[in-house]
Amino acid sequence: MILKLTCPVCDRPNIEGNICPNCETDLLSLRMLGELPSYHPRISFWLMVAIAVVFLFLGISLGIVLDVFWLKQPHPAIMAL
């Protein structure tokens, strides 16, 4: 199947060749870009849920670690009083 292009210079539609017959613009690069397969990455819903759950557990773990190891230690300013 040949991709029909519209010339970007003179707006002539339905060009099947690599050169515009109206203004002789080279359309080969546009044709190559138009014939590239389209790639649409799809991240499934469950993958996004799993990533959100992992970040939730990381946040809870970080909160527990900070609470146990950092907040429970006496601070030097408090000990001076």
Q: pLDDT at residue 71 above 70?
A: no
43's CB contacts (< 8 A; 6+ apart) are: none
Domain that holds residue 25: 1-38
Whether residue 3 is found in the same domain as residue 34: yes
Whether residue 50 is found in the same domain as residue 32: no
Q: Tens of pLDDT along 3-38?
A: 888 898 898 998 888 888 889 889 888 888 888 887
Please give the pLDDT value at position 53. 97
Whether residue 34 is found in the same domain as residue 50: no
Closest by Cα among 7, 36, 33 to 17: 7
Please give the pLDDT value at position 1. 60
pLDDT band with cut points at 50, 70 and 90 for residue 42: confident
Residue 45 to residue 37: CA distance in whole angstroms: 24
Whether residue 49 is found in the same domain as residue 70: yes
C-alpha neighbours within 13 Å on the C-beta side of residue 33? 5
The larger pLDDT score, comparing residue 80 to residue 27, is at 27
What is the reported pTM? 0.44
Whether residue 33 is found in the same domain as residue 50: no
Domain count, the chain: 2
Average pLDDT over every residue of 38-64? 88
Whether residue 14 is found in the same domain as residue 31: yes
